[in-house]
Amino acid sequence: MGRQTVTALRDISLSVPAGTLTALTGPSGSGKSTLLHLIAGLERVGSGTLDVLGSELHACTSAELSALRLREIGFVHQDFSLLADLTLIENVRLPLEALGTARGDATAAARAAMGRVGLAGLEERFPAEVSGGQQQRAAIARAIVGERTLVLADEPTGSLDSRTGAEIMDVLAQLRDEGVTVVLSTHNPANLAHADRIAVLHDGTLVSFGTADSSVSAEAGTA
Ligand SMILES: Nc1ncnc2c1ncn2[C@@H]1O[C@H](COP(=O)(O)OP(=O)(O)OP(=O)(O)O)[C@@H](O)[C@H]1O
Residue 62, domain member (yes or no): yes
Domain that residue 93 falls in: 21-211
pLDDT tens, position by position, 152-179: 999 999 999 999 999 999 999 999 999 9
The pair phi, psi for residue 124, each rounded to 5°, is -90, 0
Task: Tell me whether residue 1 is in a domain.
Answer: no
Question: Is pLDDT at 217 greater than 70 in this prediction?
Answer: no
Q: What share of the chain is helix, strand, coil (3-state, %, to 5)?
A: 40, 15, 45
Residue nearest atom 30 of ligand 1, based on CA coordinates: 29
Atom of ligand 1 nearest to the CA of 30: 21
Q: Largest Cα–Cα distance of the chain, in whole Å?
A: 51
Ligand 1: centre distance to CA 114 (Å)? 32
What spacing in Å lies between the alpha carbon of 43 and ligand 1's midpoint? 12
Is 12 contained in some domain? no
State pTM to two decimals: 0.92
Counted domains in the chain: 1
- Write the residue with the smallest CA distance to atom 11 of ligand 1: 8
Q: Is residue 85 part of a domain?
A: yes
Percent of the chain scoring above 70 in pLDDT: 95
Check which CATH number belongs to the domain holding 46 and give it: 3.40.50.300
Q: Does 94 reside within a domain? A: yes
CA 141 – CA 76 distance, rounded (Å): 9
pLDDT in tens, 43-87: 999 999 999 999 999 999 999 999 999 999 999 999 999 999 999
Residue 6 domain-assigned (yes or no): no
